[in-house]
Each structure stands twice: as structure tokens, then as C-alpha cells.
Structure 1
Amino acid sequence: MEHEELVVRLNDNGYTNWLKAGRCLLLLKEGLHPYIDHQMRAFHGDLINQNPLLRKLCQVSCRPKGNKLSYPCEACSLWQRVILKHHRQSDATVNWDNCFPPSWRVNHWEVAKAYMPRGQVKVKGADQCDASALLNLINHCDNFFVVNQKFVREVIRCRNELMHSCELRVTDAWMKHYRMILENLMKQFSHIPEMAMAAQQINKMLTVKWSICISGLDHTDAARLEGLQTDSVMHWEVGTDSISQWEAELLRESLQDLLSSDDDDTEAVVRRRNTQLMSLGGFLQANRDLGEQFSTELQAINSLLVKV
């Protein structure tokens, strides 16, 4: 039976909670990115209108080294100062390696990436970002002054707990708190049509129990799955193909988070990351369908851990 292993995983309430919570982040991202793109485009235009010198061409094709932008040309140095001026945390590490400085004068998204976590260098627009990148942009750039930053930071914290969970499980109590802070954040954007739609989808995701729709289930398959609660408390019928896609997106985001960590991390951070990688790698290998789907990522994990 196709997706048999997925159905077994979904019988674990903690894992199902983890998937639902992660799916909410993807829905949140879909609701946020049109608004954020519009806001950053307007912000970029205002900066240039206020200071025409920002239109000047980069003179030497400035490039960051690591997350540092040392000795930029006059034009890029001005942009660097402006970006820092609008950063809410003056002592925060800015990931300049996300950016291509010569494009700051013409590309609003290259400016936006300076306010995001590392790993955004290949991202060309808001629609390609995950929820973490967009939320960090809102949190760090003072262009989003109308948003209550407390709610943004609470969602970022929950997102990090979710993505860095070694068990890939969260409790019902955690989900109850998660729902509350998501609602607090989404109320900040209730006037945005895309966010209003995302809020409806997120509410459904967090309040309705899944009914797993399994295609091609015969008597032999049913016997193998005897004891699993796939037919109890059915409220929302969801196809296994859809859940499998959501699961893959969430696992891939979690992997990318861990594999793109900074080379300058402290020993304690590296040790914690490696523990998370080992746990996630073990989970993928223990589930044959996931092991096949993430074979390339498993090789990257193994290569990284061998170096430790």
C-alpha cells in the first residue's frame, strides 16, 4: 500500500502535532509574502527618494566575505550605513553574505535580505522565503513599525522549537499555546486579504482532526494496519499525497536550517546541532520511504558528522 509508513507515523499524536504546526508556518508564509514584498518595495523607494546618492553605482563590485562587508566602496558603504540605521538591534549580527551589495540600488529584496537569518543568498524574492526569514525581517527592520514585535518574536521562538526538536513531536499543551500566539500575530495583519485567508486555513489546521484518506486500501493492507486509529474521530478528510508533501517540505526546511549553520558557531552550538542532525538522520533512515526521498540529504548529514 502506498504511504503505509506515513499512516503509521500519523498514528503518533505528537508527530501529527509537529506536522500540523509546521504546516501552519507554510500557510503563514503564503499569507505574509505578498504584503512584505509590497512593504519592502515601498521602503526601498522611500530610501532612494530621501537620499539620491543611494542611486550611485557600485564602483568595485563589492562582495561580502563570510558575514562581513569590509572596506566597501563609497556607494555600498552608504547603503550599509542606511541598512544599519533601520535595524532595530544595533548590536545584532548582520548576515551581509545574504546580499549582493551592487544590487542594493535597484533591488529591494537584496536590501531585505540583510535583515534575515543566514542562508538567503540564492533567494530572489519574498515568495521563495520560509516563515522564519519573513518573520525575522519584520522583527529586525523598523519599516514594520505598526506590528507588535512581541508577537513576532513569540512565533519565531515557537518556530525554532519546532524545527530544532530532536523528537519531531510536540504536545497538545504546546499546540494550545502555539495557536494562541499565532492568533495574536495574525490579528496584526487582519486587514491583509491573503493573511485573512491564511488565518482561516491555520485555524482549521489547528482545530480539526485529520481523517486520513487512503487510496487503494485492500483487505491485506487493512490487516497490516489493524490497531491504527486511522478511522477514529474523523472530521477533515485529507489525502495522504497532500500530507506526504507537507511532511517533505517541513523536513526539508528543518534539514536546511541545520545544514546551513555558521562555521563560527561555538562548540556548544555545534554539539547541539550535530545531536539534532543525528536524531533527524536516524529518523529518516528508520522510515524507508523518507530515507529514499532524502538520500542526498542523508549523505550530506553523514559527511558533516564524519568531520566531527
Structure 2
Amino acid sequence: MVHEELFARLNEAGYKNWLKAGYCLLKVRDGLCGYADTEMLNFHRSVIRNNRNLQREQQCRSSCRPRGTQFQPACSICTEWQREILRHHTNPFGMINWGNCRPWLWPTEPWEVAKAFMPRGLADKNKAEQCDAAALLNLLNFCDHFSFINQSLVIEVIRCRNHLMHSCEMLVSDQWMSHFQKSLQQLLLQLRHVPEVVAAGQQIEEMLSVDLSVHVPGVEHVDGPQMDGAELDGVEIESISHWETELLKESLKDLLYTDELDGRLIPADLKKVQSLHRFLRSHKDLEEQFRTELQSVQVLEEELQSSINMEQ
């Protein structure tokens, strides 16, 4: 059975909580996408309207290109846009991922401006729906266009999200889930004027109340792993498998980043990468599904170990 190992993983309460919390973040992303696109369009127009230098509709003619957190514009138009981004950034003296952006598009593409307020690794993302919850939550936190939102609530959900994605064993407790649910409820309440956010909130509440007990439609009770096509308390197993894949990919992406100069993978936290590596290897279905990623991680670990041995 294709999903036999997934059913086994769902017997672990902590992992089931991890998946449900991850699903909630996927719904947060879905709820925020349209809102973020609309608001960044409004923000972009506002910046231009209030800056005479930007009203001239000039374009970058110097091929200004940032690298990581470093950006020294070579033209006046990119310099002006950088100044505006810093003026509206809630932490302008902190680390800003200029490498996310294509500055020559700042005059015409609101989302290129939005990415200056987000975590690294978003250079190829052209709209909100391509981003994860972390990116959109950081936008709410670091762009003062959203200052009407209680920022402590945004920060707490970001903190919960980071704990979830960096959990070495992919396990979270019932107590943690209770706190996470409360944090989400408080944040989403701030955006109750957005229909998509309200709908996402309803889906989140439904998921958090789901038992995910295993059963096959038409059969009252069946012990042990179930056939493919089974539902877990009304949730199709294919859907659970899909969001498990999305979450594990996000965890890998979060713990690894690519050096912009030579394209090498670099671990943000090697021990956590190794833990995730072991977890994927310990489940045959996940090992097969993430074969390419696991090969890259193994090469990285061997390179780092070799480097350590040479230094000793």
C-alpha cells in the first residue's frame, strides 16, 4: 500500500500535531495571498505618489544588482527606491535580503519591492501565491504599511512557525498546539475584514478539531493500516500526503540555503539538517520521494566532514 508508512507516522501524536500545525500555516498563506498582492499594489502606488523623483517613471539603466544582504545602487532611480524601502522598513538597520530583488523592476513591479521585506531565497518568486507563510508573515512584520496590525501577534506566529520548521524530530506537543492555535486566532482576528483570511481561519479551526482517526468509508472500524483512498476523519489521505510533502520541502529549504556566488548548498544549522536527513532516510516512502534532495544533503555533509578533518 502506497500510504502504509504515512498511516504509521500518523499513529505518532506528536507527528500528527506537526502535520496539523503545518497545514494551518499553509492555510494562513492561502488566506494572505490575495490580500498581500492588493496591499503591495496600494503601497507601491503610494510610494510613487509621495515621491516626486519616482513620479518621472525613470528606469534603471545601470544594471544594478544586489548580492545577498549587500546592495550599492549604481543609478539614481534604484538609490531612490532603496531609500524608500528603508524608510518603510520597521528594522532598517537589520539584515535586509536585497538579493531577493531585481531592482530594475522596482518602478513597475510591486512584488519586487515586497521581497525586500522578506527572508532570503525568494529571488525567483513573482507573486504572493508562490511564497510560503513565513515570507508573507515577515512582510506584515517588516513593512510599515501593515503597522495597524499588532506586531507582537505577527512575531509570535513567526516564532511558532520557526519552531515548527526547525523541529529536529518533527514532533510537537498538545500544549504547544494549544498555544499555537491561540496565537493564530489572535492574529487572524486582526484581519477579520479580509474574506479570504476569515475562510482560512474557519478551515484552520476545522483541522485543529479533527481527530484524524483512521477509517475506510463504509466501514465502522478497521484495525491497522488502511487501504489507499481511505479518509482520516473526512480528510483524504492524498491531501495529507500532499501537505506532508510541502512541509518537509519547506523544512529542507529553511535549513539549507544556496550561496549566491557559487551555487553551493550551505546549512543554516548542520545538526538539524542531519536530523532531518535521518528522519527522511528512516521512512522508505519519504526516502524515495526525496531521493534527489537527500543526495545533495549527503554530498554537503561529506564535504563539511572532510573540511573538519582537514582542520584537525
Normalising by the residue count of structure 1, what TM-score does the alignment of the two structures yield?
A: 0.90
Q: Give per-residue Cα distances to partners, 1:50-101, cap 9 Å, x unaligned.
A: 1242221102111112321124311101110110000001221110000000
Matched residue count:
292
CA contact (8 A) 2:68 2:260 kept: no
Deviation at 1:224, TM superposition (A): 6.3
Is 2:128 the counterpart of 1:131? no
Q: Please give the alpha-carbon distance, in whole angstroms, between the structure 2 residues aligned to 1:201 and 1:290.
A: 27
Q: Specify the code of the residue in structure 2 equivalent to 1:47.
A: V
Q: Specify the code of the residue in structure 2 equivalent to 1:258.
A: L
Q: Specify the code of the residue in structure 2 equivalent to 1:128.
A: Q
CA contact (8 A) 2:88 2:143 kept: yes
1:241 — aligned with what? 238
Deviation at 1:7, TM superposition (A): 0.4
Aligned to 2:269, what secondary structure does the other structure show?
A: helix
Q: Please give the alpha-carbon distance, in whole angstroms, between the structure 1 residues aligned to 2:176 and 2:240.
A: 21
Is 2:104 the counterpart of 1:105? no
List runs of 5+ in structure 2 lacking aligned partners.
305-312
Q: Please give the alpha-carbon distance, in whole angstroms, between the structure 1 residues aligned to 2:80 and 2:215.
A: 57
Q: Specify the code of the residue in structure 2 equivalent to 1:276.
A: K
Q: Please give the alpha-carbon distance, in whole angstroms, between the structure 2 residues aligned to 1:72 and 1:131.
A: 33
CA contact (8 A) 1:95 1:115 kept: yes
**Structure 1 residues 224, 183: closer, same or farther in 2, change over 3 A?**
closer
Deviation at 1:151, TM superposition (A): 0.3
CA contact (8 A) 1:211 1:237 kept: no
Alignment of 1:289-300 (within 5 A): 289-300=285-296
Residue 280 of structure 2, aligned match among 284, 288, 295:
284
Aligned to 2:144, what secondary structure does the other structure show?
A: coil
Q: Give per-residue Cα distances to partners, 1:215-268, cap 9 Å, x unaligned.
A: 8x9xxxx78649xxxx9xx9822221111111001101111111227789xxxx
Q: Give per-residue Cα distances to partners, 1:147-181, cap 9 Å, x unaligned.
A: 11000000000000000000100000000000000
**Structure 1 residues 213, 106: closer, same or farther in 2, change over 3 A?**
farther
Deviation at 1:46, TM superposition (A): 1.0
Deviation at 1:208, TM superposition (A): 2.0
CA contact (8 A) 2:89 2:143 kept: yes
Comparing 83-92 with 112-121, which one deviates more in the overlay? 83-92
Q: Please give the alpha-carbon distance, in whole angstroms, between the structure 1 residues aligned to 2:267 and 2:73.
A: 34
1:51 — aligned with what? 51
Displaced runs of 4+ in structure 1, greater than 4 A? 222-226, 261-264
**Structure 1 residues 253, 162: closer, same or farther in 2, change over 3 A?**
same
CA contact (8 A) 1:98 1:120 kept: yes
Q: Specify the code of the residue in structure 1 equivalent to 2:78.
A: C
1:267 — aligned with what? none
Q: Please give the alpha-carbon distance, in whole angstroms, between the structure 2 residues aligned to 1:38 and 1:276.
A: 37
CA contact (8 A) 2:60 2:104 kept: yes
% identical aligned pairs: 48
Q: Please give the alpha-carbon distance, in whole angstroms, between the structure 1 residues aligned to 2:155 and 2:259.
A: 21
CA contact (8 A) 1:67 1:96 kept: yes
Q: Specify the code of the residue in structure 2 equivalent to 1:244.
A: S
2:250 — aligned with what? 253
2:26 — aligned with what? 26
Q: Please give the alpha-carbon distance, in whole angstroms, between the structure 2 residues aligned to 1:223 and 1:20.
A: 23
Q: Please give the alpha-carbon distance, in whole angstroms, between the structure 2 residues aligned to 1:88 and 1:7.
A: 44
2:121 — aligned with what? 119
Is 2:180 the counterpart of 1:178? yes
CA contact (8 A) 1:69 1:96 kept: yes
Q: Please give the alpha-carbon distance, in whole angstroms, between the structure 2 residues aligned to 1:50 and 1:272.
A: 39
Deviation at 1:211, TM superposition (A): 3.0
Is 2:90 the counterpart of 1:73? no
1:5 — aligned with what? 5
1:155 — aligned with what? 157
Normalising by the residue count of structure 2, what TM-score does the alignment of the two structures yield?
A: 0.88
CA contact (8 A) 1:41 1:108 kept: yes
CA contact (8 A) 1:213 1:237 kept: no
Q: Give per-residue Cα distances to partners, 1:169-202, cap 9 Å, x unaligned.
A: 0000000000000000010011111011000000
Q: Please give the alpha-carbon distance, in whole angstroms, between the structure 2 residues aligned to 1:298 and 1:29.
A: 27
Comparing 64-73 with 282-291, which one deviates more in the overlay? 64-73
List runs of 5+ in structure 1 lacking aligned partners.
265-269
**Root-mean-square deviation over aligned CA pairs:** 2.2
